[in-house]
A and B are shown apart, each in its own frame.
Chain A
Amino acid sequence: MPRTVRDVVFVDGVRTPFGKAGPKGIYHETRADDLVVKAIRELLRRNPGLDPKKVDEVAIAATTQIGDQGLTIGRTAGILAGLPTSVPGYSIDRMCAGALTAVTTVAGSVAFGAYDVAIAGGVEHMGRHPMGEGVDPNPRFVSEKLVDESALFMGMTAENLHDRYPTITKRRADEYAVRSQEKAAKAYANGKIQADLVPVSVRRTNPEGGETGWGLVTADEPMRPGTTLENLANLKTPFRVHGRVTAGNAAGLNDGATASLIASEDFARANGLPVKMRLVSYAFAGVEPEVMGYGPIPATEKALAQAGLSISDIGLFEINEAFAVQVLAFLEHYGIADDDERVNQYGGAIAFGHPLASSGVRLMTQLARQFEEQPGVRYGLTTMCVGFGMGATVIWENPHFEGDK
């Protein structure tokens, strides 16, 4: 049977505001599944042209798939969100690139013709499910030296990446972090972020975190606008004595959820749905787990090669800021300046937070908005590093592109 690969588009993306993990965090008493349910409902509300019956899949990522992130959360979240029972769902795990993988996986199915439209997203409640909860690494990793012992501790892998790029100093990382906070604050001031947030009601019964009772979250909790180099200079380097990685130049531990609609371009157009980005290529790559943050480089190489593009064709970058050093390594590799204005225009995870498996769709939602604003740009990419030594990259085309002027 002859098949034609179909064009796949990013229709829309939303997310909850991100919170700080822990007892004082805004989501401390909110369930993880409720977070992603609210994101899915907002996505459907924003796209009334989509008949929920037509959704072919709900793919939801979570790193720690137990408790309120377990029970095949893609399926349960679909039911909880009020989708018809005829809509199936499943769970995805590629740690930090969970939501990104949810998008590429359903995109593959759309291209193949298995789906017309699917929901892809992710959730991580790191307050309820701290990193490493319930893990049981095989002892052979250590006994046979399959990976360095630092591989399981993301902060240590970031220190290792600093070793690999000796020119990336702590000061450069701090400068990058300050810029991320500045850009995020500016994006908020200009209303670039709020439009894609779904408000979340939150309950607090313990007065330690602030006023008790029901509240409403409409903005990211981790933001630290006005952060200066001086503020960051003396922060502790918890992962290595005299190290470079601090809480200030890395993303925090966060709670949040994202959801996106991925469809065939024909379906989107036939149903009057927006086409915000067109998928060009995607790739994943492995690296030594102890330099996990290097991952985006080989992943991007693969994705560019598939697309027949070079790095100079990319007009906008959304790079997940798990650590400043990991962004800087990427930029250094490609000879891009630390403050290149094509990169993370709205700031990044250092400011907004990084609830592991949810972040990929945040990058896409922001890139989509930048595409809309900048019709002169044809291609953009979203990339992230992934625990245990991986990178993930998706290259997108701007449907608003007006041609070379």
Chain B
Amino acid sequence: MSTTAELLKGAAELFPDEVVTTAHVRHFDLPLGAGRFALITLDNGHDHKKPTTFGPQSLANLDAAIDQVEKEAADGDIVGVGITGKPFIFAVGADLKGVELLKRHEDALAIGKGGHEVFKRLSKLAVPTFAYYNGAAMGGGVEVGLHCTYRTVSAAVPAFSLPEVFLGLVPGWGGCTLLPNLIGADKAVSVIIENSLNQNRQLKGKQVYELGIADAIFEGADFLEQSLTWTAAVLKGEIVVDRPVIDRGEAWDQAVAKGRFIADGKVHGAAPAAYRALDIIAAAKNGDLQQGYDAEDQALADLIMSGELRAGLYAFNLVQKRGKRPAGAPDKSLARPVTKVGVVGAGLMASQLALLFLRRLEVPVVLTDIDQERVDKGVGYVHAEIDKLLGKGRINQDKANRLKALVSGVLDKAEGFADADFVIEAVFEEIGVKQQVFAEVEAVAPAHAILATNTSSLSVTEMASKLKHPERVVGFHFFNPVAVLPLLEIVRGEKTDDASLATAFAVAKKLKKTAVLVKDAPAFVVNRILTRFMGEIQNVIDEGTPVEVAEKAVEPLGLPMSPLVLLELVGPAIGLHVSETLNKAFPDRFTVSPNLKAVVEAGKRGFYVYDSGKPELDPEVAALLKQGDTVLTEDQVRARVLDAVAQEIGLMLDEGVVAEAQDIDLCLITGAGWPFHLGGITPYLDREGVAERVNGKRFLAPGVASVPA
């Protein structure tokens, strides 16, 4: 048995539940009399809904298939070898479930080496090798093709990527080394770093060809036939593949520098994967492939054993799985159909909600407000947004006509809501106002209609308390910008019944939002945690720590933006309002910053000015600040902030605000953009010992978002 086989056998024993990919070898004559050909098909035996992956046994199967074609090639029985996938799928890379199970660095190293040892054989056969990217290709799927002599891609490929950095890995089966050597460092950095850090952006078949990753592109209808005919022409010398010479000079270093700039902008040095990948890309400049593969093995093993990667996989699974099957949602068969939506209020938020409901549900949406001018403005906003979509070609004229015909505005709620199944309010955040609005709606809407509130901090139970039918009131809390942030906190009031809740979840699904079930507690999840987090930052500033120290203190977390920039985005007045609400509810933990109050009262919309192109403390704000004389270090600030967050989350879980810590993390990822490498936040708090220190216990059992014990 070869060492590769032993390596893979050992790995396979650690992963008994692998969905195994078979590497079928089939022989046939190529067109144009080009000779006998062996084609390897990667197929896990399932349909396209379970894409083909590479676990250890799968790699061993490919290794065995290569044994066969290697001999045939050496014996002169075949003129070439191809590799392709089952319908719609080429291969989507390593089986991540297997990665989660790894406990030892040496086992992680074996995964990297095993893949390399198998894949690189494809570049060393006695005949040319061809990869035919027929469908989705990611990670190791892309990499197996990079080891081949030639590649073709289907114009119908919907998704092609090296997503490793997005998850917390490096493309470690040749990707970091081969891709820059194929298409140059600049384009490789775009694929490996930029796309990964841009919410895992995918390439389409056409881009794969244009980037030079594939040598030819053919339409989906007869992709394989045309690829094989092309193969025959290449083998007969009728087509000569001419790849541009790549720039191994200064451009290479500039590309790597660009990659570091992008990584800094996204993760601020807080997650290692992008930097490890860039180190390998930088070293690949000399064209020494084996040196690159060795570096990939090391990086892969180090990262597999890192908390960042485990948190990344945990976060990925939360978004992909828990985000699609919300914990605690009632049986979806209880949901009632929603064939018409009412929106109370026609301001900006209400108009954005109207647009979202319109586009996703494609049912009539009626806006109401207190005067005709506001109503007209709301409807006008929706029409203008539809025109923008039309202008960008996102929808066609027929669809624009349909959507415009579905949206209307009336003054009279009775006229607008008499046949609405779902009415959402987005009026001023004042409990009395909201109660009155719901009372008016209840008087005119059908008995079954859901009454939803987009409140960010008021009690849903209290809002429903004066109604005849409080059981149909649901909190439906969106995050700004509504069209961008996926999170929707669905709040169950004390009397909310299952049918109403099920309807709310069904609507959320149609809106393509990530719905999380939340108890009716002050500020729900995201705003409560962010406010506690911001509150501690404010406190240390108020007590005397310089603003820049407080800001820099949390940089190692790699959050999407600094606390004060976030406050600016939210709006200082809104931040103040939420902190006052929470201060009322939990005066011992939530403070109201006098400095923030002063800034709001001065009518400032932020702490910074950007005249120099970089954020600098606004001198007018600086003049307003009244600070004490307690100056903390960055480490002290960070510890204090993280302790506060850990304490708050611990209390929220005790109160039952959400079912599990997983829901907290899902909310922070999808509602606040907190990064994968933190796993939201609880994996990080566990990893750094904060949870243990503050609450005396971890949030998550070892292995859930960390290396298993």
Taking beta carbons and an 8 Å cutoff, which residues of A are in contact with B? 37-38, 41-42, 80-82, 198-201, 203-205, 210-219
Contacts and interface: CB of A to CB of B under 8 A. Distances in A.
Contacts of B24: 211-214
A88 B31 CA distance: 32
B41 A213 contact: yes
Given A201-B228, A216-B228, A211 B222 contact: no
Contacts of A210: 26
A225 to B, nearest CB: 16
Interface residues of B, number: 25
B28 A215 contact: yes
A200 B225 CA distance: 6
A218 B28 contact: yes
A136 B24 CA distance: 43
Given A211-B24, A213-B25, A213-B40, A38 B225 contact: yes
Contacts of A219: 29
A219 B29 CA distance: 10
| Those 7 A-B pairs whose CB atoms lie nearest each other, nearest first | A213-B24, A213-B41, A201-B224, A211-B26, A213-B26, A212-B24, A215-B26
A205 B45 CA distance: 8
B39 interface: yes
16 contacts: A41-B221, A41-B222, A80-B221, A82-B221, A199-B229, A200-B225, A201-B222, A201-B224, A203-B87, A205-B43, A210-B26, A211-B25, A211-B26, A213-B39, A214-B39, A216-B39
B228 A199 contact: yes
B26 A204 contact: yes
A271 B39 CA distance: 40
B25 A216 contact: no
Contacts of A38: 221-222, 225
A211 B229 CA distance: 21
B408 interface: no
B30 interface: yes
Contacts of A41: 221-222
Contacts of B29: 216, 218-219
Nearest to A197: B31
Given A213-B40, A215-B39, 13 more contacts: A38-B221, A38-B225, A41-B222, A81-B221, A199-B229, A201-B222, A201-B225, A211-B24, A214-B39, A214-B224, A215-B28, A216-B31, A218-B30
A199 to B, nearest CB: 5
B419 interface: no
Interface string B179-216: 00000000000000000000000000000000000000
A199 B29 CA distance: 11
Interface string B72-97: 00000000000010110000000000
A204 B31 CA distance: 20
B219 interface: yes
Interface of B: 22, 24-31, 37, 39-41, 43, 45, 84, 86-87, 219, 221-222, 224-225, 228-229
A82 B224 contact: no
Tell me whether chain A's interface is mostly helix, strand or loop, or mixed: mixed
Nearest to A40: B221
A38 B221 CA distance: 7
Contact of B30 (A37, A42, A216): A216
A84 B30 CA distance: 31
Contacts of A212: 22, 24, 26, 41
Contacts of B221: 37-38, 41, 80-82
A214 B154 CA distance: 16
Interface centre among B24, B86, B87 (most CB of A within 10 A): B24
Contact of B225 (A199, A203, A204): A199
A319 B312 CA distance: 68
A26 to B, nearest CB: 10
A106 to B, nearest CB: 23
A210 B25 CA distance: 11
A122 B170 CA distance: 51
A55 to B, nearest CB: 16
A214 B225 contact: no
Contacts of A204: 26
A214 B84 contact: yes
B41 A214 contact: yes
A215 B29 CA distance: 9
A371 to B, nearest CB: 25
A82 B219 contact: yes
B463 to A, nearest CB: 51
Contacts of B28: 215-218
Nearest to B87: A203
A38 B26 CA distance: 21
Contacts of A215: 26-28, 39
A213 to B, nearest CB: 3
Nearest to A198: B225
B547 to A, nearest CB: 61
Contact of A199 (B26, B27, B31, B219): B31
Contacts of B25: 211, 213
A37 B43 CA distance: 25
A82 B221 CA distance: 8
A212 B45 CA distance: 11
A211 B38 CA distance: 11
Nearest to B22: A212
A198 B224 CA distance: 12
Contacts of B22: 212
Contact of A211 (B27, B37, B84, B225): B27
A208 B608 CA distance: 73
Contacts of B43: 205, 213
A229 B22 CA distance: 45
A111 B689 CA distance: 86
Contacts of A37: 221-222
A211 B78 CA distance: 16
Contacts of B222: 37-38, 41-42, 198, 201
A203 B228 CA distance: 14
